[in-house]
Chain A
Protein backbone atom coordinates (compact mmCIF):
# COMPACT_ATOMS: atom_id res chain seq x y z
CA UNK A 1 0.00 0.00 0.00
CA UNK A 2 1.29 3.40 -0.95
CA UNK A 3 1.26 5.97 1.77
CA UNK A 4 -0.73 9.19 1.43
CA UNK A 5 -4.35 10.19 1.63
CA UNK A 6 -6.62 7.13 1.76
CA UNK A 7 -9.36 6.80 -0.83
CA UNK A 8 -12.73 8.47 -0.25
CA UNK A 9 -15.14 6.19 1.61
CA UNK A 10 -17.72 4.69 -0.70
CA UNK A 11 -19.89 2.67 1.65
CA UNK A 12 -23.19 0.97 0.88
CA UNK A 13 -25.85 3.27 2.38
CA UNK A 14 -28.25 1.89 4.98
CA UNK A 15 -31.20 0.28 3.20
CA UNK A 16 -34.73 1.16 4.24
CA UNK A 17 -36.95 -1.71 3.04
CA UNK A 18 -39.78 -0.52 5.33
CA UNK A 19 -40.01 2.71 3.36
CA UNK A 20 -40.52 0.88 0.08
CA UNK A 21 -43.26 -1.28 1.64
CA UNK A 22 -44.96 1.84 2.99
CA UNK A 23 -44.72 3.56 -0.40
CA UNK A 24 -46.31 0.55 -2.08
CA UNK A 25 -49.16 0.42 0.46
CA UNK A 26 -49.81 4.15 0.16
CA UNK A 27 -49.74 3.93 -3.63
CA UNK A 28 -52.40 1.21 -3.62
CA UNK A 29 -54.61 3.18 -1.22
CA UNK A 30 -54.21 6.35 -3.28
CA UNK A 31 -55.08 4.49 -6.46
CA UNK A 32 -58.22 3.04 -4.82
CA UNK A 33 -59.24 6.50 -3.61
CA UNK A 34 -58.68 8.11 -7.01
CA UNK A 35 -60.55 5.31 -8.74
CA UNK A 36 -63.52 5.74 -6.37
CA UNK A 37 -63.51 9.49 -6.91
CA UNK A 38 -63.25 9.38 -10.67
CA UNK A 39 -65.77 6.60 -11.30
CA UNK A 40 -68.39 7.94 -8.88
CA UNK A 41 -70.92 9.59 -11.17
CA UNK A 42 -72.40 11.65 -8.34
CA UNK A 43 -69.28 13.83 -8.20
CA UNK A 44 -69.78 15.15 -11.74
CA UNK A 45 -66.20 16.11 -12.54
CA UNK A 46 -67.28 17.82 -15.72
CA UNK A 47 -69.45 20.13 -13.59
CA UNK A 48 -66.53 20.74 -11.21
CA UNK A 49 -64.52 21.93 -14.19
CA UNK A 50 -67.30 24.21 -15.37
CA UNK A 51 -67.93 25.73 -11.93
CA UNK A 52 -64.18 26.19 -11.41
CA UNK A 53 -64.02 28.70 -14.26
CA UNK A 54 -67.59 30.06 -14.08
CA UNK A 55 -67.68 33.86 -14.16
CA UNK A 56 -69.32 34.37 -10.73
CA UNK A 57 -66.84 31.93 -9.15
CA UNK A 58 -63.92 33.75 -10.76
CA UNK A 59 -65.10 37.13 -9.50
CA UNK A 60 -65.82 35.58 -6.06
CA UNK A 61 -62.28 34.20 -6.06
CA UNK A 62 -60.95 37.68 -6.84
CA UNK A 63 -62.95 39.14 -3.94
CA UNK A 64 -61.58 36.44 -1.62
CA UNK A 65 -58.02 37.25 -2.65
CA UNK A 66 -58.52 40.99 -2.28
CA UNK A 67 -60.16 40.53 1.13
CA UNK A 68 -57.33 38.28 2.29
CA UNK A 69 -54.64 40.72 1.20
CA UNK A 70 -56.30 43.84 2.64
CA UNK A 71 -57.35 42.17 5.90
CA UNK A 72 -53.81 40.81 6.38
CA UNK A 73 -52.22 44.19 5.63
CA UNK A 74 -54.51 45.78 8.23
CA UNK A 75 -53.90 42.87 10.62
CA UNK A 76 -50.11 42.96 10.31
CA UNK A 77 -49.83 46.75 10.59
CA UNK A 78 -52.24 46.80 13.51
CA UNK A 79 -50.55 43.80 15.09
CA UNK A 80 -47.10 45.40 15.03
CA UNK A 81 -48.52 48.61 16.47
CA UNK A 82 -50.37 46.76 19.24
CA UNK A 83 -47.32 44.63 20.11
CA UNK A 84 -45.05 47.68 20.37
CA UNK A 85 -47.69 49.46 22.48
CA UNK A 86 -48.07 46.41 24.69
CA UNK A 87 -44.30 46.24 25.34
CA UNK A 88 -44.00 49.99 25.86
CA UNK A 89 -43.03 51.41 29.25
CA UNK A 90 -45.92 53.83 28.87
CA UNK A 91 -48.73 52.34 31.01
CA UNK A 92 -51.44 54.10 28.99
CA UNK A 93 -50.27 52.59 25.70
CA UNK A 94 -49.83 49.10 27.07
CA UNK A 95 -53.19 49.27 28.85
CA UNK A 96 -55.01 50.32 25.68
CA UNK A 97 -53.31 47.52 23.75
CA UNK A 98 -54.26 45.00 26.42
CA UNK A 99 -57.90 46.11 26.30
CA UNK A 100 -58.02 45.90 22.50
CA UNK A 101 -56.60 42.38 22.47
CA UNK A 102 -58.95 41.35 25.27
CA UNK A 103 -62.04 42.49 23.37
CA UNK A 104 -61.11 41.37 19.86
CA UNK A 105 -59.66 38.02 20.84
CA UNK A 106 -62.40 37.36 23.32
CA UNK A 107 -65.35 37.49 20.92
CA UNK A 108 -66.01 35.38 17.79
CA UNK A 109 -64.98 36.99 14.51
CA UNK A 110 -68.42 36.18 13.09
CA UNK A 111 -70.05 38.20 15.87
CA UNK A 112 -67.65 41.06 15.15
CA UNK A 113 -68.60 40.98 11.46
CA UNK A 114 -72.30 41.18 12.36
CA UNK A 115 -71.50 43.98 14.76
CA UNK A 116 -69.69 46.11 12.14
CA UNK A 117 -72.43 45.37 9.64
CA UNK A 118 -75.30 46.41 11.90
CA UNK A 119 -73.54 49.29 13.63
CA UNK A 120 -75.44 51.56 11.24
CA UNK A 121 -78.66 50.60 12.99
CA UNK A 122 -77.31 51.92 16.31
CA UNK A 123 -75.37 54.91 14.96
CA UNK A 124 -77.04 55.87 11.66
CA UNK A 125 -75.00 59.08 11.50
CA UNK A 126 -71.30 59.57 12.10
CA UNK A 127 -69.97 63.12 12.49
CA UNK A 128 -66.98 65.26 13.39
CA UNK A 129 -67.39 68.03 15.94
CA UNK A 130 -66.76 69.18 19.48
CA UNK A 131 -67.44 66.46 22.07
CA UNK A 132 -70.92 67.06 23.56
CA UNK A 133 -71.06 70.21 21.39
CA UNK A 134 -71.96 71.10 17.82
CA UNK A 135 -71.20 68.79 14.88
CA UNK A 136 -69.45 70.19 11.81
CA UNK A 137 -69.77 67.38 9.26
CA UNK A 138 -71.64 64.10 9.37
CA UNK A 139 -72.12 61.05 7.16
CA UNK A 140 -74.55 58.19 6.96
CA UNK A 141 -72.83 55.13 8.45
CA UNK A 142 -73.93 52.99 5.52
CA UNK A 143 -72.44 55.42 2.98
CA UNK A 144 -69.22 55.62 4.97
CA UNK A 145 -68.96 51.85 5.32
CA UNK A 146 -69.90 49.91 2.20
CA UNK A 147 -70.16 46.15 2.70
CA UNK A 148 -66.65 45.50 1.38
CA UNK A 149 -65.13 47.96 3.90
CA UNK A 150 -67.10 46.32 6.69
CA UNK A 151 -65.62 42.95 5.69
CA UNK A 152 -62.03 44.24 5.55
CA UNK A 153 -62.36 46.05 8.88
CA UNK A 154 -64.12 43.15 10.59
CA UNK A 155 -61.52 40.61 9.52
CA UNK A 156 -58.49 42.94 9.77
CA UNK A 157 -59.21 44.35 13.23
CA UNK A 158 -59.73 40.85 14.58
CA UNK A 159 -56.53 39.64 12.92
CA UNK A 160 -54.57 42.53 14.46
CA UNK A 161 -55.34 41.20 17.95
CA UNK A 162 -53.97 37.75 17.11
CA UNK A 163 -51.04 39.06 15.08
CA UNK A 164 -49.92 41.36 17.89
CA UNK A 165 -49.28 38.34 20.09
CA UNK A 166 -47.17 36.76 17.34
CA UNK A 167 -45.13 39.95 16.95
CA UNK A 168 -44.75 40.25 20.71
CA UNK A 169 -43.41 36.70 20.92
CA UNK A 170 -40.96 37.53 18.13
CA UNK A 171 -39.72 40.69 19.86
CA UNK A 172 -39.30 38.87 23.18
CA UNK A 173 -37.30 36.13 21.44
CA UNK A 174 -34.48 38.56 20.56
CA UNK A 175 -31.60 38.54 23.04
CA UNK A 176 -31.54 41.51 25.42
CA UNK A 177 -27.90 42.13 24.57
CA UNK A 178 -29.00 43.29 21.11
CA UNK A 179 -30.98 46.20 22.52
CA UNK A 180 -28.13 47.00 24.92
CA UNK A 181 -25.57 47.04 22.13
CA UNK A 182 -27.83 49.22 19.98
CA UNK A 183 -28.51 51.73 22.73
CA UNK A 184 -24.85 51.85 23.74
CA UNK A 185 -24.15 52.98 20.15
CA UNK A 186 -26.62 55.83 20.59
CA UNK A 187 -29.55 54.41 18.63
CA UNK A 188 -32.92 55.60 19.92
CA UNK A 189 -35.67 53.21 21.04
CA UNK A 190 -37.46 53.54 17.70
CA UNK A 191 -34.30 52.95 15.65
CA UNK A 192 -33.38 49.96 17.80
CA UNK A 193 -36.81 48.45 17.25
CA UNK A 194 -36.92 49.06 13.49
CA UNK A 195 -33.33 48.35 12.57
CA UNK A 196 -32.19 45.75 15.10
CA UNK A 197 -35.03 44.02 16.95
CA UNK A 198 -37.78 43.58 14.34
CA UNK A 199 -35.54 42.17 11.57
CA UNK A 200 -34.36 39.49 14.00
CA UNK A 201 -37.86 38.91 15.36
CA UNK A 202 -39.02 38.21 11.78
CA UNK A 203 -37.43 34.77 11.92
CA UNK A 204 -39.80 33.84 14.73
CA UNK A 205 -42.75 35.80 13.29
CA UNK A 206 -42.77 34.43 9.72
CA UNK A 207 -43.91 30.81 10.28
CA UNK A 208 -47.00 31.71 12.34
CA UNK A 209 -47.61 34.69 10.03
CA UNK A 210 -47.79 32.29 7.07
CA UNK A 211 -50.17 30.21 9.11
CA UNK A 212 -52.34 33.25 9.83
CA UNK A 213 -52.42 34.27 6.15
CA UNK A 214 -53.50 30.80 5.07
CA UNK A 215 -56.06 30.79 7.84
CA UNK A 216 -57.32 34.23 6.75
CA UNK A 217 -57.75 33.01 3.17
CA UNK A 218 -60.35 30.57 4.45
CA UNK A 219 -61.79 32.76 7.21
CA UNK A 220 -62.88 35.22 4.52
CA UNK A 221 -65.66 32.71 3.72
CA UNK A 222 -67.36 33.92 6.94
CA UNK A 223 -68.32 37.21 5.29
CA UNK A 224 -70.87 35.29 3.24
CA UNK A 225 -72.89 35.43 6.47
CA UNK A 226 -73.28 39.20 6.02
CA UNK A 227 -74.26 38.71 2.39
CA UNK A 228 -70.96 39.52 0.74
CA UNK A 229 -70.29 37.36 -2.30
CA UNK A 230 -66.86 35.79 -2.21
CA UNK A 231 -65.60 32.41 -3.40
CA UNK A 232 -67.55 30.13 -1.05
CA UNK A 233 -70.75 32.13 -1.45
CA UNK A 234 -70.41 32.17 -5.25
CA UNK A 235 -69.91 28.39 -5.31
CA UNK A 236 -72.77 27.58 -2.93
CA UNK A 237 -75.06 29.89 -4.91
CA UNK A 238 -74.40 27.79 -8.01
CA UNK A 239 -74.81 24.62 -5.97
CA UNK A 240 -78.19 25.75 -4.63
CA UNK A 241 -79.38 26.83 -8.04
CA UNK A 242 -78.28 23.75 -9.99
CA UNK A 243 -78.35 21.20 -7.14
CA UNK A 244 -74.73 20.30 -7.99
CA UNK A 245 -73.81 21.15 -4.39
CA UNK A 246 -70.81 18.88 -3.88
CA UNK A 247 -69.18 19.56 -7.29
CA UNK A 248 -69.50 23.30 -6.64
CA UNK A 249 -67.86 22.98 -3.23
CA UNK A 250 -65.07 20.87 -4.72
CA UNK A 251 -64.45 23.57 -7.31
CA UNK A 252 -64.20 26.21 -4.57
CA UNK A 253 -61.93 23.94 -2.50
CA UNK A 254 -59.60 23.54 -5.48
CA UNK A 255 -59.22 27.32 -5.65
CA UNK A 256 -58.46 27.49 -1.90
CA UNK A 257 -55.93 24.64 -2.23
CA UNK A 258 -54.25 26.38 -5.14
CA UNK A 259 -53.79 29.63 -3.22
CA UNK A 260 -52.71 27.84 -0.06
CA UNK A 261 -50.00 26.10 -2.08
CA UNK A 262 -48.80 29.36 -3.56
CA UNK A 263 -48.72 30.96 -0.08
CA UNK A 264 -46.73 28.01 1.34
CA UNK A 265 -44.12 28.39 -1.37
CA UNK A 266 -43.93 32.13 -0.69
CA UNK A 267 -43.53 31.46 3.03
CA UNK A 268 -40.59 29.14 2.37
CA UNK A 269 -38.67 31.82 0.47
CA UNK A 270 -39.49 34.57 2.97
CA UNK A 271 -38.25 32.34 5.82
CA UNK A 272 -35.11 31.62 3.86
CA UNK A 273 -34.49 35.36 3.39
CA UNK A 274 -34.73 36.10 7.12
CA UNK A 275 -32.56 33.11 8.02
CA UNK A 276 -29.50 34.84 6.54
CA UNK A 277 -26.92 35.51 9.20
CA UNK A 278 -28.33 32.97 11.64
CA UNK A 279 -27.82 29.80 9.63
CA UNK A 280 -24.34 29.26 8.28
CA UNK A 281 -25.84 27.46 5.30
CA UNK A 282 -29.23 28.48 3.97
CA UNK A 283 -31.78 25.63 3.69
CA UNK A 284 -31.90 24.13 0.20
CA UNK A 285 -34.75 25.16 -2.06
CA UNK A 286 -37.00 22.28 -3.23
CA UNK A 287 -35.33 22.44 -6.65
CA UNK A 288 -31.89 22.13 -5.06
CA UNK A 289 -33.15 19.17 -2.99
CA UNK A 290 -34.42 17.38 -6.09
CA UNK A 291 -31.06 17.86 -7.79
CA UNK A 292 -29.23 16.58 -4.69
CA UNK A 293 -31.42 13.48 -4.52
CA UNK A 294 -30.92 12.78 -8.21
CA UNK A 295 -27.16 13.04 -7.90
CA UNK A 296 -27.09 10.68 -4.91
CA UNK A 297 -29.24 8.20 -6.84
CA UNK A 298 -26.69 8.31 -9.63
CA UNK A 299 -23.87 7.90 -7.09
CA UNK A 300 -25.46 4.83 -5.57
CA UNK A 301 -24.84 2.74 -8.70
CA UNK A 302 -21.05 2.69 -8.63
CA UNK A 303 -20.88 1.95 -4.88
CA UNK A 304 -18.34 -0.80 -4.38
CA UNK A 305 -16.90 -0.86 -7.85
CA UNK A 306 -13.46 0.55 -8.38
CA UNK A 307 -13.87 2.60 -11.53
Chain B
Protein backbone atom coordinates (compact mmCIF):
# COMPACT_ATOMS: atom_id res chain seq x y z
CA UNK B 1 0.00 0.00 0.00
CA UNK B 2 1.33 3.40 -0.96
CA UNK B 3 -1.34 5.40 0.84
CA UNK B 4 -0.33 6.17 4.38
CA UNK B 5 -3.71 7.60 5.38
CA UNK B 6 -6.02 4.83 6.66
CA UNK B 7 -9.54 4.57 5.25
CA UNK B 8 -11.07 4.77 8.72
CA UNK B 9 -9.39 6.08 11.83
CA UNK B 10 -11.01 6.05 15.26
CA UNK B 11 -9.41 7.70 18.25
CA UNK B 12 -11.00 7.36 21.67
CA UNK B 13 -14.52 7.18 20.19
CA UNK B 14 -17.19 7.41 22.87
CA UNK B 15 -20.94 7.01 22.36
CA UNK B 16 -23.71 7.11 24.94
CA UNK B 17 -27.46 6.71 24.80
CA UNK B 18 -28.54 8.89 27.70
CA UNK B 19 -26.74 7.61 30.78
CA UNK B 20 -25.67 4.35 29.13
CA UNK B 21 -22.22 4.47 27.57
CA UNK B 22 -22.08 1.98 24.67
CA UNK B 23 -18.65 2.84 23.28
CA UNK B 24 -16.01 3.56 25.87
CA UNK B 25 -13.08 4.74 23.84
CA UNK B 26 -12.51 2.83 20.60
CA UNK B 27 -9.13 3.16 18.88
CA UNK B 28 -8.59 1.46 15.57
CA UNK B 29 -7.43 1.92 11.99
CA UNK B 30 -8.82 0.33 8.85
CA UNK B 31 -6.42 0.38 5.91
CA UNK B 32 -7.53 0.89 2.34
CA UNK B 33 -8.36 -2.38 0.59
CA UNK B 34 -8.64 -4.26 3.84
CA UNK B 35 -11.39 -6.61 5.04
CA UNK B 36 -11.81 -5.60 8.64
CA UNK B 37 -13.90 -7.85 10.87
CA UNK B 38 -15.63 -6.73 14.07
CA UNK B 39 -16.66 -9.59 16.32
CA UNK B 40 -18.00 -9.81 19.83
CA UNK B 41 -21.07 -10.65 21.89
CA UNK B 42 -24.32 -8.76 21.29
CA UNK B 43 -24.39 -5.49 23.15
CA UNK B 44 -20.65 -5.07 22.80
CA UNK B 45 -21.14 -1.94 20.67
CA UNK B 46 -19.84 -3.28 17.35
CA UNK B 47 -23.01 -2.39 15.38
CA UNK B 48 -23.17 1.01 17.06
CA UNK B 49 -19.58 1.71 16.06
CA UNK B 50 -20.34 0.71 12.47
CA UNK B 51 -23.31 3.09 12.40
CA UNK B 52 -21.11 5.90 13.71
CA UNK B 53 -18.88 5.56 10.64
CA UNK B 54 -21.58 6.85 8.26
CA UNK B 55 -23.03 9.17 10.88
CA UNK B 56 -26.27 7.27 11.45
CA UNK B 57 -25.22 7.75 15.09
CA UNK B 58 -23.42 10.79 16.47
CA UNK B 59 -20.37 10.18 18.62
CA UNK B 60 -20.09 12.03 21.94
CA UNK B 61 -16.33 12.22 22.28
CA UNK B 62 -13.16 11.33 20.39
CA UNK B 63 -12.29 11.59 16.72
CA UNK B 64 -13.63 9.50 13.85
CA UNK B 65 -12.52 10.10 10.28
CA UNK B 66 -13.10 8.42 6.91
CA UNK B 67 -10.51 8.90 4.18
CA UNK B 68 -8.89 11.70 6.17
CA UNK B 69 -12.11 13.67 6.75
CA UNK B 70 -13.98 13.92 10.04
CA UNK B 71 -17.36 12.20 10.13
CA UNK B 72 -20.23 14.66 10.61
CA UNK B 73 -18.09 17.68 11.48
CA UNK B 74 -15.71 20.22 9.99
CA UNK B 75 -12.74 21.42 12.00
CA UNK B 76 -11.63 25.01 11.68
CA UNK B 77 -9.23 26.82 14.02
CA UNK B 78 -9.51 24.03 16.54
CA UNK B 79 -13.28 24.29 16.68
CA UNK B 80 -15.80 21.68 15.46
CA UNK B 81 -18.72 22.74 13.28
CA UNK B 82 -21.64 20.39 12.62
CA UNK B 83 -22.17 19.56 8.94
CA UNK B 84 -25.48 20.36 7.29
CA UNK B 85 -27.78 17.49 6.32
CA UNK B 86 -26.84 17.95 2.68
CA UNK B 87 -23.12 17.73 3.41
CA UNK B 88 -23.63 14.58 5.46
CA UNK B 89 -25.67 13.09 2.59
CA UNK B 90 -22.87 13.98 0.17
CA UNK B 91 -20.32 12.05 2.25
CA UNK B 92 -22.57 9.04 2.66
CA UNK B 93 -22.57 8.53 -1.13
CA UNK B 94 -19.10 7.06 -0.83
CA UNK B 95 -19.93 4.69 2.02
CA UNK B 96 -22.14 1.72 1.22
CA UNK B 97 -24.05 0.00 3.99
CA UNK B 98 -25.66 -3.42 4.20
CA UNK B 99 -28.11 -4.03 7.03
CA UNK B 100 -28.97 -7.11 9.03
CA UNK B 101 -32.63 -6.77 8.03
CA UNK B 102 -31.82 -5.88 4.37
CA UNK B 103 -34.04 -2.76 4.41
CA UNK B 104 -34.84 -3.04 0.72
CA UNK B 105 -37.51 -0.61 -0.45
CA UNK B 106 -40.58 -2.90 -0.64
CA UNK B 107 -42.52 -0.72 -3.09
CA UNK B 108 -39.75 -0.91 -5.71
CA UNK B 109 -38.56 -3.88 -7.75
CA UNK B 110 -35.04 -5.23 -7.33
CA UNK B 111 -33.87 -3.20 -10.32
CA UNK B 112 -35.61 -0.03 -9.11
CA UNK B 113 -34.00 -0.51 -5.69
CA UNK B 114 -30.58 -0.55 -7.32
CA UNK B 115 -31.03 2.43 -9.66
CA UNK B 116 -32.82 4.70 -7.15
CA UNK B 117 -29.71 6.27 -5.61
CA UNK B 118 -27.57 6.59 -8.78
CA UNK B 119 -30.45 8.31 -10.59
CA UNK B 120 -31.70 10.52 -7.74
CA UNK B 121 -28.46 11.28 -5.94
CA UNK B 122 -25.87 11.29 -8.71
CA UNK B 123 -28.23 12.28 -11.52
CA UNK B 124 -27.10 9.37 -13.68
CA UNK B 125 -29.23 8.91 -16.84
CA UNK B 126 -31.84 6.21 -16.27
CA UNK B 127 -30.76 4.03 -19.18
CA UNK B 128 -27.11 3.97 -18.11
CA UNK B 129 -28.12 3.28 -14.50
CA UNK B 130 -30.33 0.41 -15.66
CA UNK B 131 -27.51 -1.22 -17.59
CA UNK B 132 -25.12 -0.91 -14.67
CA UNK B 133 -27.78 -2.19 -12.28
CA UNK B 134 -28.43 -5.24 -14.44
CA UNK B 135 -24.69 -5.96 -14.50
CA UNK B 136 -24.55 -5.62 -10.70
CA UNK B 137 -27.55 -7.91 -10.26
CA UNK B 138 -25.83 -10.43 -12.54
CA UNK B 139 -22.71 -10.13 -10.42
CA UNK B 140 -24.64 -11.11 -7.28
CA UNK B 141 -26.30 -13.93 -9.23
CA UNK B 142 -29.74 -12.39 -9.59
CA UNK B 143 -29.92 -11.29 -13.23
CA UNK B 144 -33.28 -13.03 -13.63
CA UNK B 145 -34.85 -11.39 -10.57
CA UNK B 146 -34.58 -7.76 -11.70
CA UNK B 147 -38.34 -7.32 -12.02
CA UNK B 148 -39.27 -8.98 -8.71
CA UNK B 149 -40.42 -7.10 -5.65
CA UNK B 150 -38.49 -7.79 -2.41
CA UNK B 151 -41.44 -9.74 -0.96
CA UNK B 152 -41.08 -12.18 -3.85
CA UNK B 153 -37.42 -12.90 -3.01
CA UNK B 154 -35.85 -15.13 -0.35
CA UNK B 155 -33.84 -13.55 2.45
CA UNK B 156 -30.55 -14.42 0.81
CA UNK B 157 -31.67 -12.97 -2.50
CA UNK B 158 -32.88 -9.80 -0.78
CA UNK B 159 -29.54 -9.36 0.94
CA UNK B 160 -27.69 -9.79 -2.36
CA UNK B 161 -29.95 -7.13 -3.95
CA UNK B 162 -29.10 -4.91 -0.96
CA UNK B 163 -25.39 -5.42 -1.67
CA UNK B 164 -25.92 -4.58 -5.35
CA UNK B 165 -27.87 -1.47 -4.29
CA UNK B 166 -24.96 -0.29 -2.14
CA UNK B 167 -22.41 -1.08 -4.87
CA UNK B 168 -24.38 0.94 -7.42
CA UNK B 169 -23.10 4.12 -5.73
CA UNK B 170 -19.51 2.93 -6.36
CA UNK B 171 -18.49 3.38 -2.72
CA UNK B 172 -14.91 3.43 -1.50
CA UNK B 173 -15.93 1.73 1.73
CA UNK B 174 -18.57 -0.89 2.46
CA UNK B 175 -20.08 -1.44 5.91
CA UNK B 176 -21.76 -4.78 6.65
CA UNK B 177 -23.91 -4.98 9.78
CA UNK B 178 -24.35 -8.70 10.51
CA UNK B 179 -25.35 -9.32 6.88
CA UNK B 180 -26.08 -13.02 7.36
CA UNK B 181 -27.64 -13.07 10.84
CA UNK B 182 -31.23 -12.94 9.62
CA UNK B 183 -30.76 -15.67 7.00
CA UNK B 184 -31.53 -19.38 6.89
CA UNK B 185 -28.24 -21.32 7.25
CA UNK B 186 -28.60 -22.62 3.72
CA UNK B 187 -28.70 -19.10 2.24
CA UNK B 188 -25.71 -17.71 4.16
CA UNK B 189 -23.21 -19.16 1.70
CA UNK B 190 -24.51 -17.22 -1.33
CA UNK B 191 -24.19 -13.92 0.50
CA UNK B 192 -20.71 -14.75 1.81
CA UNK B 193 -19.63 -15.74 -1.72
CA UNK B 194 -20.64 -12.31 -2.99
CA UNK B 195 -18.71 -10.65 -0.15
CA UNK B 196 -15.67 -12.83 -0.84
CA UNK B 197 -15.77 -11.68 -4.47
CA UNK B 198 -15.87 -8.05 -3.35
CA UNK B 199 -12.86 -8.61 -1.10
CA UNK B 200 -10.93 -10.13 -4.00
CA UNK B 201 -11.66 -7.02 -6.06
CA UNK B 202 -9.96 -4.95 -3.38
CA UNK B 203 -13.00 -3.29 -1.77
CA UNK B 204 -12.40 -1.87 1.69
CA UNK B 205 -14.92 -3.60 3.93
CA UNK B 206 -15.81 -3.41 7.59
CA UNK B 207 -17.83 -6.46 8.56
CA UNK B 208 -19.68 -7.01 11.81
CA UNK B 209 -20.19 -10.76 11.81
CA UNK B 210 -20.57 -13.99 13.73
CA UNK B 211 -19.25 -15.97 10.76
CA UNK B 212 -15.83 -16.89 12.14
CA UNK B 213 -15.08 -19.07 9.11
CA UNK B 214 -15.51 -16.08 6.81
CA UNK B 215 -13.44 -13.86 9.12
CA UNK B 216 -10.57 -16.34 9.20
CA UNK B 217 -10.60 -17.01 5.48
CA UNK B 218 -11.25 -13.53 4.02
CA UNK B 219 -10.43 -11.10 6.82
CA UNK B 220 -7.19 -9.08 6.89
CA UNK B 221 -7.71 -7.74 10.38
CA UNK B 222 -10.01 -8.57 13.25
CA UNK B 223 -11.07 -6.77 16.38
CA UNK B 224 -12.80 -8.44 19.29
CA UNK B 225 -15.03 -6.02 21.19
CA UNK B 226 -16.77 -6.44 24.52
CA UNK B 227 -18.54 -3.95 26.75
CA UNK B 228 -17.76 -1.01 24.48
CA UNK B 229 -14.00 -1.49 24.34
CA UNK B 230 -11.57 -3.28 22.03
CA UNK B 231 -10.39 -6.32 23.94
CA UNK B 232 -8.06 -7.80 21.38
CA UNK B 233 -7.03 -7.17 17.80
CA UNK B 234 -4.74 -8.69 15.22
CA UNK B 235 -4.80 -10.92 12.17
CA UNK B 236 -7.96 -13.06 12.21
CA UNK B 237 -6.05 -16.34 12.08
CA UNK B 238 -3.96 -15.37 15.10
CA UNK B 239 -6.80 -14.00 17.19
CA UNK B 240 -9.18 -16.82 16.36
CA UNK B 241 -6.74 -19.69 16.82
CA UNK B 242 -4.60 -18.27 19.58
CA UNK B 243 -6.57 -15.71 21.58
CA UNK B 244 -4.50 -13.93 24.22
CA UNK B 245 -7.31 -12.59 26.34
CA UNK B 246 -9.49 -14.65 28.69
CA UNK B 247 -12.70 -12.92 27.52
CA UNK B 248 -11.90 -13.63 23.86
CA UNK B 249 -11.23 -17.27 24.65
CA UNK B 250 -14.55 -17.60 26.49
CA UNK B 251 -16.46 -16.03 23.60
CA UNK B 252 -14.76 -18.06 20.89
CA UNK B 253 -15.26 -21.32 22.74
CA UNK B 254 -19.01 -20.68 22.45
CA UNK B 255 -19.23 -19.63 18.81
CA UNK B 256 -16.61 -21.78 17.09
Contacts and interface: CB of A to CB of B under 8 A. Distances in A.
Contacts of B121: 185-187, 191
A123 to B, nearest CB: 40
A187 B117 contact: yes
Given A180-B99, A181-B103, A181-B105, A280 B92 contact: no
Contact of B152 (A177, A186, A280): A280
Interface stretch (B83-91, B125-133, B184-192): B83-91
A178 B89 contact: no
A178 B151 contact: no
Contacts of B95: 184
Nearest to A189: B85
A183 to B, nearest CB: 6
B50 to A, nearest CB: 11
Contact of A183 (B92, B101, B120, B149): B92
Contacts of B165: 185
Given A178-B103, A200-B107, A183 B152 contact: no
Contacts of A186: 89-90, 92-93, 117, 121, 169
Contact of A184 (B97, B106, B107, B150): B97
B166 A185 contact: yes
Interface residues of B, number: 32
A304 interface: no
Contacts of B54: 184
A177 B177 CA distance: 12
Contacts of A184: 54, 56, 92, 95-97, 166
B107 A276 contact: yes
A185 B175 CA distance: 12
Nearest to A199: B107
Contacts of A191: 120-121
Contacts of B116: 185, 187, 195
Given A186-B169, A187-B89, A180 B149 contact: no
B108 interface: yes
Contacts of B97: 181, 184
Nearest to A198: B107
A184 B103 CA distance: 11
Interface in A141-166: none
- Interface centre among B93, B117, B149, by most A CB within 10 Å? B117
Nearest to A181: B103
Given A277-B108, A280-B151, A187 B103 contact: no
B107 to A, nearest CB: 4
Contacts of B105: 178, 181-182, 196, 200
A196 B96 CA distance: 18
Nearest to B56: A180
Interface of B: 54, 56, 85-86, 89-90, 92-93, 95-97, 99, 101, 103-109, 116-117, 120-121, 149-152, 162, 165-166, 169
24 contacts: A177-B101, A178-B103, A178-B105, A180-B103, A181-B97, A182-B105, A183-B56, A184-B56, A184-B97, A185-B92, A185-B165, A186-B93, A186-B169, A187-B89, A187-B117, A187-B120, A188-B89, A191-B121, A195-B116, A196-B105, A200-B105, A200-B106, A277-B106, A280-B151
